[in-house]
Structure 1
């Protein structure tokens, strides 16, 4: 082809074509760059304006589009689009929707603070067809066993827990008070904790802990090994007690169970077996949550005062597993002092199918006690990782349910920065700084000391505690005015030795009373302690009962007014206690006791021989073996003390055998006694909580009546669960007996259904106290009849016939949130003219 022909077909030269090609490429590149430059990217975090906490599951949407995402569990989000957008909205049920402007075509951070909004869910009516959420719920219940962690043979994980307590609603009137002026100046000098739109709060406590949590099922036993803790609080020391309470043991919420324990109350789970009875449901959406396509279901209780939840849950479409929840309990529920509870939980699947909580957040708003008083917010956060399933350890491994590493309170440099699961927010760093400042203010230190003294009964003064204050004053017909003072050492003195002393003086009998005691902790793992004690005092015969604690308020009250069969005594005790294994404790006690009556009392020194010498005073020497078995009892160590938090499910059994030695250290009698006791709390969901104590005992020997079983009566106007409340002091004595003391709190089960009553939040209670005993003639005849100054016989006590003693009671608790009133009817042994057939008792209690 000729050059002319080529030019006719291709009018552009190769040079020109090359130039055009580069221009086209440049235009394409420029266009792509322009598109990239115009893409809008927004990321940030959503928090609660009042508490400063992250808000998960919030709908983040570019306004005017369908492009959106939900915030993750920690409130973070990221969105991008090529569309022309100018604003982004954040919306979620229970919060006021908020819209913020954005800059188109840029990468930017936009954070939101959402204000809470009281939203009442509208009633949803399904006509003709079944509620579409019901079939999903039925499938969830069918698959519960597959996904419930209780069906694993064992599981374990590393747990990071964070706890914070803040005081809020600090009104200007409160801040203007003189006592708050120095505190207010501290608050004004620091960054406001809640943030740009939040309310000022006063942080009081923050803690962190890292532990390894172990569970073995069937039967369930658990163990938490606390690796490290960090505690900062106003009036709260970084002691061993606090370090044990902030771990994972007390942050367990399993919504696959029918009932969820929260603030020591039983709440019905939204996926309980009887879900349809308690809740209404609405299927709102279906969407991806991470890798799982989920159904989004809203739910709310049928009765607003029931202990139930309002919220949203996400159910996986393929497995019908619970993926995440956002729940709240509003102030309409039958709870005291609590305005609102919010729980958010995100679950993760394990390799064996069951799902375990990966992250849990709980926020509890504790309301104002009075109009001008502040309120409190309690926050709990738990993060779990490194799951291991179906690899149980030997049962001995779980013997100590909460174990604190010896170096747990030591803070190696950089430890928390490298080991906490999530970094601290700027807000939380401010909390630490503010607490360190507040706790050094003198007025704050004084106030916290007063509060701790009121709760413990002791005032800490360096290495010693002064008290207990309940035994500092008494007034009765024998001693007249009685003044006393006591003290004990604390852990600052020694982590092994506990020394105690108490002295009192009666201005009428002009006698000194005293108590000296020394305990030595041999081992903390297993708990093993030995102690000695000597005590000289004035007591009453009916108080010779192991069910009463010498330092209890009921015991202290008995020191006022008329005294029933008083005596002076000297008591020396040697005791040993050890934990044999988890739930099994053994005590051995040796006691020597001298008894000197202050009332007419005589007995045959050789029981059964009416011609033997007659005495009035006597001595005993005895040894007692006490075994206690409580399968799932939780113990914590409070400095130098071991404190029981009760059992989770199983009853606690106690068996005690006592043998008295005649001739040993002045003992006047040989005798044998046996006592058995079973106690348990039974949680019955909406029906309330029952508590029972079943006891039985037998005294095999002949003894004068001060050494027999004197059953505890109650002549005071106050209710006490350990006493028979219409029985007089020292009314009944036996040498063999069986008793049942049963209490039931209906919570709001009945009164919540009465329109005029439910706003009061009163709660019904019921009592049944039954006692059957007998006294063999050989013991009845050991003591001579008591005679007055004129030689007239004084009835000492009553004995049981063929009828048990029965009293039934009913009452109302939660009157003004703190008062309980019980009415009792005595049904048997009504034949004496001054018997109390009916009585009303009052008590004061702090309950939620």
Structure 2
């Protein structure tokens, strides 16, 4: 009996042991594993920080910066829900006990209006925000002495909003094969987009403080896009230098506009905040705060920030600007950023994603998406290089485009390409092979660049090929210039024109040697024979083909023929400091009644002359401390300055007798140009210039202030001044333009939907004309005809003040200008309404 009891007891223990040993395997077999990615249905971009949860449980996950998630649980529901602020929630079925992949494509909520709840006591988000501002100086990366890092940048530009009407256009129908491909790539819930450009680059970025300098060296670049050949300009534009956004600054500059940061010192003036959650993010306990602009039309963001409890640093941000903002053509701007602490406590961005959605300009056109992604790693902190190391803001390795094999890029990318991005490369290759696409991309390049590329030569500029005026009649002028395919050291150009009215040949020839690209150094030789206008500075407008072409139309007032020879040497001695020396010889043969006395001291015996010739040498110093440049083939393009003014000092000496020159003279000119940001009051541009001419000269060699007697507003003229009304040999000018953006009008209920913007202008000249120069003016020409009248200033300045509204129908600008002084002169107007057209965001 005891033996049976013992046997049963043994078997029971054995069964229990077997059950206990098998229980973990049983439980493991019942675990549900779900992996996937959450993306925007419109753009295809990942959505970081989205929440996924089984309804009725606390089981879920949050997507990482690349939109990926993973959930492992033994207690799943049968439905998984994804949600995120500003998006419609989505549900999908789950198979319990299985490993499965579930991707979500979610759409924006068109009725995204956040409820405002007013509670008694202080909003708990306010205390957090006060601590954020208090700790900005400690957490901002700008506090570091220096830092450097490796960065990977990826840019994709796509055509979106492919409506049925757009697809039915004949040109679009010829790319049916590609359109079928993008339908498949978009996925079941995605919105099809047509890729036209994708680029990748790997760079090394360096920053130092005191002085504030930044340098990016682009090591490798891969560019694939419609109409892209050399790709050097795009390589620089898509580098990380143009994809950096620091929300610790009060203002964040995007697409040339300043947006107020949610972390700005004056955050309460612009934003409402709400504390919605607290959670761990990468081991950091964070507060999640949602924010919305107090005025939807302001240039401000909507989104979420994650603030660390320890140190109140920005850990993550998801910020968007919607179509309510006072912007043209832009439907949405979205910036997502993830930051990590450096060794000494400052926080550095490790990943950035930016999306700019450009809307359709017409009902028959499509929109455009620009998507930017950067990844930063291998940070080195507080080890600055010498100042000379940062001489150029952007450089490219000599072999930057030499390695485009996929195997090579797989080894240097920070993250692999997705399957969709790999297909983008294939689709662009397919598009480039379609003849009609090549034709249209060539036409677009001609419109933008003004030239048509034919091998090693560019034909153009097309805008100056045809003109018509009262002196030349119909004028035809073809031209060309060599491009970088011909040489990266030499640029040759020529234009040949003929006027059928005056039956005279005009020409321009030039040769430029690029002696150094690191310290930009050029030597340019040119000669021309042409028709000009007194008061139009052909040198200052040399790169403004539109201005030079437009001044060849219509009625020529004070026109003259000239033969000119120039030699121009320019070198950047150090960052921002450029020295220039130039020689110029030119003749003046007027087409109007002009005369001056050769001997003004003895008018009785003096002869009256019309023509003259002059030879002069110019020495110029220009300083623009933080000016940014791009090197585009054989050109260098200025992107302007950020904080500092552009100061230019010029001295010109004329030599009598040199090449039969008629005059000795000295001129000294100083100018200053500055952009000033006024925060909520918009921005202003200030241009101040003064010149003193020490020697009596015929008035075409003096300062002829350019008037405007047309109904079109011009920023380079005095809009209520008559032609030739004022001439000076000493003067100071001030031009002030203030753009208020949406200030005031954004707060007027009936006007804010129109997105009109106020502006203000002021033009002031204070100058004079010496008695010696007045005595040079002969009242009659050698033929006895009276000369055109010449005016000069009295004891008060010329002043015109204006105000206006821009962005009317997105293109029209109306200026109301008041002339304040010299109102007693004949044929002047003290008030004018002028129009202009402009294209801006």
**TM-score tier (shorter):** over 0.9
CA contact (8 A) 1:489 1:500 kept: yes
Deviations 1:709-753 (A, max 9, x none): 111222333222121112223221111110000001110002111
1:239 Cα deviation from its structure 2 partner? 2.3
CA contact (8 A) 1:545 1:710 kept: no
Map 1:164-563 to 2 at 5 A: 164-189=156-181, 192-411=184-403, 413=405, 414-544=407-537, 546-549=539-542, 551-563=544-556
* Structure-1 residue corresponding to 2:66: 74
1:822 matched to 2:815? The reply is yes
The alpha-carbon distance between structure 1 residues 657 and 129, as it changes in their structure 2 partners (threshold 3 A), is same
CA contact (8 A) 2:566 2:583 kept: yes
Cα distance in structure 1, aligned partners of 2:421 and 2:596: 71
Cα distance in structure 1, aligned partners of 2:825 and 2:30: 97
1:305 Cα deviation from its structure 2 partner? 0.5
Deviations 1:184-227 (A, max 9, x none): 23321566332231122111111111111111123321111111
Cα distance in structure 1, aligned partners of 2:420 and 2:279: 32
CA contact (8 A) 2:226 2:432 kept: yes
* Structure-2 residue corresponding to 1:589: 582
Deviating more after overlay: 716-725 vs 644-653: 716-725
1:619 matched to 2:618? The reply is no
* Structure-1 residue corresponding to 2:705: 711
Cα distance in structure 1, aligned partners of 2:281 and 2:247: 19
Cα distance in structure 1, aligned partners of 2:567 and 2:678: 42
Cα distance in structure 1, aligned partners of 2:181 and 2:122: 59
1:677 Cα deviation from its structure 2 partner? 0.7
Cα distance in structure 1, aligned partners of 2:76 and 2:354: 39
Deviating more after overlay: 613-622 vs 196-205: 613-622
Cα distance in structure 2, aligned partners of 1:726 and 1:501: 37
* Structure-2 residue corresponding to 1:4: none
1:756 matched to 2:718? The reply is no
* Structure-2 residue corresponding to 1:692: 686
1:87 Cα deviation from its structure 2 partner? 2.3
CA contact (8 A) 2:718 2:763 kept: yes
Residue aligned with 1:723, SS? coil
Cα distance in structure 1, aligned partners of 2:542 and 2:833: 24
* Structure-2 residue corresponding to 1:134: 126
CA contact (8 A) 1:215 1:221 kept: yes
1:810 matched to 2:806? The reply is no
1:150 matched to 2:131? The reply is no
The alpha-carbon distance between structure 1 residues 704 and 182, as it changes in their structure 2 partners (threshold 3 A), is same
Residue aligned with 2:175, SS? helix
CA contact (8 A) 2:450 2:463 kept: yes
Cα distance in structure 2, aligned partners of 1:669 and 1:795: 23
1:311 Cα deviation from its structure 2 partner? 0.8
1:363 Cα deviation from its structure 2 partner? 1.1
Cα distance in structure 1, aligned partners of 2:404 and 2:224: 16
The alpha-carbon distance between structure 1 residues 730 and 554, as it changes in their structure 2 partners (threshold 3 A), is farther
Deviations 1:675-700 (A, max 9, x none): 11100111222211100100000111
CA contact (8 A) 2:34 2:72 kept: yes
Taking only aligned residues, the RMSD between alpha carbons, in angstroms, comes to 1.9
User: TM-score, normalised on structure 1?
Assistant: 0.96
Gaps of 5+ in 1: 1-6
Cα distance in structure 1, aligned partners of 2:76 and 2:185: 36
Residue aligned with 1:159, SS? strand
1:602 Cα deviation from its structure 2 partner? 3.0
Residue aligned with 1:46, SS? strand
Cα distance in structure 1, aligned partners of 2:543 and 2:193: 42
* Structure-2 residue corresponding to 1:23: 15
The alpha-carbon distance between structure 1 residues 551 and 318, as it changes in their structure 2 partners (threshold 3 A), is closer
CA contact (8 A) 1:547 1:722 kept: no
Cα distance in structure 2, aligned partners of 1:684 and 1:121: 30
Match of 2:629 among 631, 635, 638: 635
1:815 Cα deviation from its structure 2 partner? 1.1
Deviations 1:135-166 (A, max 9, x none): 11111111111101111111111111111111
CA contact (8 A) 1:52 1:193 kept: no
Cα distance in structure 2, aligned partners of 1:273 and 1:410: 46
Match of 2:93 among 101, 108, 124: 101
User: TM-score, normalised on structure 2?
Assistant: 0.97
Deviations 1:48-77 (A, max 9, x none): 122111111111112331012210000111
Match of 1:45 among 33, 37, 47: 37
The alpha-carbon distance between structure 1 residues 197 and 737, as it changes in their structure 2 partners (threshold 3 A), is same
Cα distance in structure 1, aligned partners of 2:521 and 2:258: 35
Residue aligned with 1:133, SS? helix
CA contact (8 A) 1:608 1:702 kept: no
1:546 Cα deviation from its structure 2 partner? 4.7
CA contact (8 A) 1:163 1:206 kept: yes
CA contact (8 A) 2:593 2:786 kept: no
Residue aligned with 2:467, SS? strand
CA contact (8 A) 1:155 1:215 kept: yes
Deviations 1:15-56 (A, max 9, x none): 877655443321111222111111112111111122111111
The alpha-carbon distance between structure 1 residues 70 and 430, as it changes in their structure 2 partners (threshold 3 A), is same
Deviations 1:588-611 (A, max 9, x none): 111111222223333343564544
Cα distance in structure 2, aligned partners of 1:785 and 1:266: 54
Deviating more after overlay: 481-490 vs 638-647: 481-490
